Amino acid sequence: MVDLPRRLFQSPWEFREAGLFTAVAVIAGFSVQYAGLGIGIPQAHLPYNALFLGLFALAVISAGLAFRNNAFVKWLGGIPLGLCLICAIALLSLIGGIIPQTAPAPGSRPALLGLNQIFSSWPFALTILLFLANLGLSLSWKLVPFKVQNLQFILFHAGFWIALSCAIFGAPDLQRLVVPVEEGKASNLGYTMDSETPQIIPFSVFLQDFSLEEYPPQLLLFDPNTGKIFEERSKANILVHKGLKASWKGLDIDVLDFIPYALPGKSGVPEPADRTAGIPFAKIRITSTNATVREEWITTGSPFVNTKDAQVGSLFLGIRPGTPKAFRSEVTVQDETGNPSKATLEVNHPINFMGWKLYQMGYDQKAGRWSKVSLIEVIRDPWLPAVYLGFFMIMAGNILFFWNGIKRTEGAS
């Protein structure tokens, strides 16, 4: 008996049909995108996106239970189609990672195909919906009838479905704004990174005080004409402190004294001052190859005091402010009813208020630690708890998978 090769679309369908189906779906998505002059899918917000997602999940589960013995439905929820759809999602995501997701020239080929907005394009949306349908169908067959041995499969796949669907459908509801606030003033206006049009947020932020701590200043030898900085022999960043020794070719430097917070005195010698007004001063001894030695005070300067460098031939030796060590804002956050809440905002230490997260983002870098402006990032993502729930379910499924594996190993031994 001669085994004839299986023809395309001969039952049962396998990977060839799944690959062709996925390719047709992606091409159809790009066709819709092109026909719509590059306009992507409508961005639905709460409650409409949640309603659509709930109805979609109900329809998939119902179809899976009602037609579980149908050959086509079995194939739709099968592994071959799922793997092909995952490859398509990976390919579209790769396009989104390679091609800048910024507004292209109107009417250009990338704009018409949606390549610069791939994650809100029709091909991406259609592929995601088909994958969620595939995942939901396979999940429905494990849910009913429920069996304890299917719990690991249910936790992992249901968690994956929840995390992926809520992250995709909830993306339009993500709000990420920057609120600039001046000391002694309040603001309830936020700005996106790509727009200067303010958006009103449902609370105000009053900035009581902004403070910044810096690392010690750095000692630099530079050419004022070209801006070139010359490396010290140790090729390390030289943080200024009393007793520091540094050397360049033909030049030796000793830091005789260092005052982290000082102001120029009447005699020209800096005098210690309060931290809020003082700036770093360093007294250095410069020894050059021709055996000339001189001592001089240099300073970083500030918006109120001029920078003072030491000239060495055609070059200059100076100290520059250290990099920020920590910066924080003392704020009072107040809702629309007038209820205040005091807090301290620091980098990587956000606070929660009315479902929003407030982060210390930045400040006026030209003013440095004298900045009177604090940049506060406010983020609201109402879908985030659902995404976290999905991740925890995935983790629980993985733990159960390893636990079952250990039990089977112990039973076999």
DSSP string, 58-109: HHHHHHHHHTTT-HHHHHHTSHHHHHHHHHHHHHHHHHHHHS--S---TTSH
For residue 2, tell me if it sits in a domain. no
Buried-state track 15-38, b at ≥16 Cβ within 10 A, e below 16? eebbbebbeebbeebbebbeeeeb
Residue 4 has pLDDT above 70, yes or no: no
Domain encompassing residue 354: 175-213+325-380
Claim to verify: residue 258 and residue 163 sit in the same structural domain: no
Claim to verify: residue 21 and residue 117 sit in the same structural domain: yes
- Within 148-252, residue ranges assigned H as helices are 151-169
Q: What percent of the chain has pLDDT over 70?
A: 98
Q: What is the mean pLDDT of residues 112-129?
A: 94
For residue 281, tell me if it sits in a domain. yes
Claim to verify: residue 29 and residue 159 sit in the same structural domain: yes
Residue 1 has pLDDT above 50, yes or no: no
- Name which of 129, 184, 204, 207 is nearest 354 in CA terms: 204
DSSP string, 319-340: EEPPPEEEEEEEEEEEETT--E
pTM of the complete model: 0.80
Count the Cβ atoms, other than its own, within 10 Å of residue 281.
27
Claim to verify: residue 123 and residue 265 sit in the same structural domain: no
Claim to verify: residue 339 and residue 259 sit in the same structural domain: no
Tens digit of pLDDT for each residue in 340-369? 999 999 999 999 999 999 999 999 998 888
Q: How many domains does one find in the chain? A: 3
Average pLDDT, the chain: 92
For residue 118, tell me if it sits in a domain. yes
Claim to verify: residue 250 and residue 341 sit in the same structural domain: no
Burial label for 368, CB within 10 Å (0-12, 13-18, 19+), is middle
Tens digit of pLDDT for each residue in 35-58? 998 999 988 999 999 999 999 999
For residue 80, tell me if it sits in a domain. yes
For residue 8, tell me if it sits in a domain. no
* The domain boundary residue, chosen from 298, 322, 346: 322
* The domain boundary residue, chosen from 322, 347, 369: 322
Q: What percent of the chain has pLDDT over 90?
A: 76
Among 80-84, 320-324, 360-364, which is the least confidently predicted range? Answer: 320-324
From CA 175, how far away is CA 196, in angstroms rounded?
15
Claim to verify: residue 235 and residue 122 sit in the same structural domain: no
Q: What is the mean pLDDT of residues 91-115?
A: 89
- Name which of 202, 209, 162, 166 is nearest 185 in CA terms: 209
Claim to verify: residue 283 and residue 339 sit in the same structural domain: no
